Amino acid sequence: MPHGGFSGSLTSPEFDFAVDMGHPLLNRTVDGFIRIGAVGGCKVAAEETFECLQRG
């Protein structure tokens, strides 16, 4: 029976995250979505910070 799990660590500036969904293709797919989401979140945070600093 398949089992799932995950583990992660954050060390500046590297982000390491491992996903175990029980199937190698599914692992890579979920890992890709998580990484894309993290990049998108960082981009939005940077843009909002820049906007706030521009307003004063």
Q: What are 21-35's pLDDT values in tens digits?
A: 888 898 889 888 988
37 in Cβ contact with 29 (< 8 Å): no
Query: Where is pLDDT greater, at 11 or 26?
Result: 26
Tell the residue number behind the tokens 């998580």, with chain if given: 34
pTM exceeding the 0.95 threshold for the entire prediction: no
Q: Per-domain residue ranges for the chain?
A: 5-55
Q: Which long-range contacts (CB under 8 A, 24 or more apart) does 13-22 make?
A: none
Mean pLDDT of 11-20: 68
18 in Cβ contact with 4 (< 8 Å): no
pLDDT at 48 over 90: yes
Tell the residue number behind the tokens 């199937």, with chain if given: 23
* φ and ψ at residue 22, rounded to 5 degrees: 95, -5
